[in-house]
Amino acid sequence: MKDHILESRKFVIGGIALIIVVTYIIRLAFLQLMSEDYKTYADSNAFLNKVLYPSRGGIYDRNGTLLVYNQPAYDIMVVMREVSGLDTLDLCRTLGMTKEEFDNRMSVIKDRNKNPGYSTYTQQLFLGQIPAEEFSVFQEKLFRFRGFYVRERAIRRYRYSHAAHVLGDVAEVSPADIESDEYYQSGDYIGKQGVERSYEKYLRGEKGVEVLLRDARGRIQGHYKNGEKDRRPVPGKDVTLSIDLELQKLGERLMEGKKGSIVAIEPKTGEVLCMVSAPTYDPRLMEGKQRGKMMARMGRDPLKPMINRAVLGTYPPGSTFKTSQALTFLQEGIITASTAYPCSHGFRFGRLKVGCHGHAAPLPLQPAIATSCNGYFCWGLYYMFGNRKKYPSVQDAMTRWKDYMVSMGFGYKLGIDLPSEARGMIPNAQYYDKAYRGSWSGLTVVSISIGQGEVLLTPLQIANLGATIANRGYYITPHVVKHVEGAQLADSLLEKHKTMVDSKYYEYIVGGMRKAVTGGTCRAADNSMYEVCGKTGTAQNPHGKDHSAFMGFAPMNDPKIAIAVYVENGGWGANYGVPLGALMMEQYINGGLSPESERKAEEFQHKHVSYGLSSEVRPVLVNKNREEKKTATDDSSDSE
C-alpha cells in the first residue's frame, strides 16, 4: 500500500516550507537588523513635520503703491477626544455651515483612508481660511467649543479693485501642480493666473518645518533633537509691477460698459504701463473661500470677464496696421515717400473693390497715412506681390512680407511675463496655397494690407507696434514686472528686438502719424502741451459694428508712452479709440487730467456700447464706488 518513493516526497514539501520560512527570516533580518532606512522612514511617519508657511511676497505698482498683501486668516482645528458637550447647531451657525457639512467634515477627518495619521489626540484641520472678521465671532465663542483650536494662516488680499487680469490670484494647488513640482503638498497655495502665477517662484518664498516627535498615541512629545532639524520659513520676494495704478484706474473707468482693451507701454523699456481688459472683475472677490463660487459664476458669464483680452483677444488691427505696411514697402523699395497712388473712393481693380472714404487723390505716403487711405496701401501690396523682378513668385513675395511682419512682433507670442498669451495670426504662403489651392495673387489677399482679412493681432501687439515706431525701429519685450526684490528680470524680458526696417524710414511714418493728429483722422488727440502721433483703426468684423481702434505715442520726439486702444464694436476709430487714447496719454504725461478732460472722461465712462445681450455690459463684478480707502480690516462681503 505504501509507496516509499512517493513518501519521500514529504521531504520535498517539508523542504519547500523550510525554504520559505528561512527566506522570510533572512528578509526580516535585512529589514529589521541591517537597514537603518526603514527606521528613518518610520521616523518620518512617527515624527510630525509641521510645516511653517512663509508669507507670500507683496505686489506693488511702479510708483511703490502696495496692491496685494497678506492678511492673517485662521484655520480651525479639532482634537477629537477633547470634544465634549458640543453644541453642534451653535457651532454650525457661528461658522455659517450646515449640519450636513459638519457631519460630512467630521467623517472625512475620521476616515483613515482620506486622513492617514489621524489620531484622536492631535489637532486635525476642521475648517480652513476663515477671514478675520468671521473668525472674531468664532473666537468670542471659542471657550464654548471644547476641543477646538485655532491656527494662523495668511490669506491673499487686494487693496484695489483694479488690474485683476495682471495680478491674477492664488488658490489651493491642484493635483497636477503637486505632480509637476514636488515643493507643493496638498493644501498649499499657488498662483493660478497673472503675475501671481508667472512670478510664483519668487512670491511664494520657502516653507519651513518644525520636526516634532509623536508617541504611539500621536501626542506631541516635543522637538526632535531640540529643534536642530527645524528650519525657519523664508518669506517670499516682493514684486514691483511696471503698471501705473492711476493710469490703470483711468483705463478701467473709460472702458466701463465696453468690451475691449487698452495697453500702454513705455517704449524705451518695454514696461507695460497699463493693461486694461474689459469687462473686468474685482480681484477682491477672489479672496479666500469665495474664489470657487466666483470662478464658476464668471465662467458662465457670456461676456467672459475672466479672459485677459489684452493678451488673449485677437482682433483685426484695421488701419493701425497700415503703418507696418508703409514701412515694409519703403524698405523693399516698392514706394518712396513721394510715391502717390490714386484712390477714387477706394481701390478698384476689375470687379474687386476696397472702399475708402472721400478725400483728395492721388496722395503721397504721409497724407495717405494721415487720412488713412485704403487705396494707397492696397496698391502698395499689389505692386509688391506683383513684382516679379524682385520676387520670383507670389509665394516668395508673401514670405518676404511675412518676415517683415514677424520682425515687428506679429504672428508669434511677444513673450510677455504673463502665464498665457495668444500669438495672433499672420498668414504665410503655405496658408494661402492651401486656402486657394495654389492659385492666388496679390489681389486675392489685398485686404491684409489694411489690417483686415486673415490678419489678427492682440492689443498688446498693436501697442507694441506703437512702441516700435516711437523707438524708430526696435522694441523691448513688453513686460509687466519692473523689479523683483533681490533678483534680476529674465534676460528675455530686456532683449532688444530690431525690426527689418531701417530707422530712417520710421521717420516718414512718425511724420504721417503726426499729420493724422494735426490734420487727419486723429484730430481729437491734438493738444498744445506735447506732440501726439497717432493712427486710427476701424476694423470690419463678422460680429456686428466695426471695432474702434487707436494706436499712438507721445511726445513725438521723446516718447514716454505708446498706447493701443481697442473697443469692440465701437464704430469709427475716432468714436472711442482716439479720445480714449488721448485721455490716457494726458493722464500719464501730465500726471492727471485737466478739468475739461475730466469731464470728457466722465462722459466716456458712461457711454456704453450695446452688445445685444440681455444683460448690458454691466459692472456687476466691478464696484467702482468702493474706492480705495482700504485698510487691513477691509472686507469684501458687500461685493454685490
Pick 221 or 393: Cβ nearer other proteins: 221
Q: Which helix (H) or strand (E) holds 131?
A: strand 124-131
Least gap, CB of 85 to other proteins (angstroms) = 17
Least gap, CB of 187 to other proteins (angstroms) = 15
Question: Cα–Cα distance between 606 and 14 in angstroms, integer?
Answer: 94
Cα-to-chain-centroid distance, residue 349: 44
Least gap, CB of 2 to other proteins (angstroms) = 9
Using CB under 8 A as the criterion, which residues of the chain lie in contact with other proteins when the complex forms? 3, 6-7, 9-10, 12-14, 16-18, 20-21, 23-25, 27-29, 31-33, 35, 37-39, 41-43, 45-46, 81, 112-113, 116-121, 214-218
Strands (E), 477-588: 481-484, 496-498, 533-541, 544-554, 561-567
Question: Cα–Cα distance between 7 and 558 in angstroms, integer?
Answer: 107
Least gap, CB of 558 to other proteins (angstroms) = 60
Question: Cα–Cα distance between 162 and 630 in angstroms, integer?
Answer: 13
Question: Cα–Cα distance between 391 and 402 in angstroms, integer?
Answer: 13
Question: Cα–Cα distance between 174 and 339 in angstroms, integer?
Answer: 60
Q: Which helix (H) or strand (E) holds 46?
A: helix 37-46
Classify each residue of 83-118 as buried b or exposed e, where b means 16 or more C-beta atoms within 10 Å of its C-beta: eeeeeeeebbebbeeeeeebeebbeebeeeeeeeeb
Least gap, CB of 199 to other proteins (angstroms) = 29
Cα dist from 26 to 15, 334, 638, whole Å: 16, 87, 69
- Furthest CA-CA distance within the chain: 126
Pick 93 or 146: Cβ nearer other proteins: 146
Pick 33 or 360: Cβ nearer other proteins: 33
Least gap, CB of 91 to other proteins (angstroms) = 21
Alpha-carbon dihedral sign for residues 11, 15, 17, 22: positive
Pick 215 or 495: Cβ nearer other proteins: 215
Pick 21 or 234: Cβ nearer other proteins: 21
Burial of 577 (C-beta count, 10 Å sphere; 0-12/13-18/19+)? buried
Least gap, CB of 622 to other proteins (angstroms) = 43
Question: Cα–Cα distance between 503 and 315 in angstroms, integer?
Answer: 27
Comparing C-alpha atoms, which of 362, 534, 564, 535 is closest to residue 450? Answer: 535
Least gap, CB of 452 to other proteins (angstroms) = 51
Least gap, CB of 47 to other proteins (angstroms) = 9
Least gap, CB of 551 to other proteins (angstroms) = 53
Pick 4 or 434: Cβ nearer other proteins: 4
Pick 211 or 445: Cβ nearer other proteins: 211
Q: Locate cell 533572512: which residue?
A: 26
Residue 551, strand partner residues: 535, 564
Pick 115 or 615: Cβ nearer other proteins: 115
Least gap, CB of 81 to other proteins (angstroms) = 5
Pick 42 or 613: Cβ nearer other proteins: 42
Helices marked H in 58-113 — which ranges? 88-95, 99-110
Pick 47 or 431: Cβ nearer other proteins: 47
Q: What nine digits make up the cell of 563?
A: 498706447
Comparing C-alpha atoms, which of 198, 310, 267, 244 is closest to residue 496? Answer: 267
Pick 12 or 296: Cβ nearer other proteins: 12
Contact status, residue 167 vs residue 158, Cβ threshold 8 Å: yes
Least gap, CB of 77 to other proteins (angstroms) = 17
Pick 215 or 627: Cβ nearer other proteins: 215
Cα dist from 322 to 203, 215, 365, 373, 515, whole Å: 41, 76, 11, 9, 15
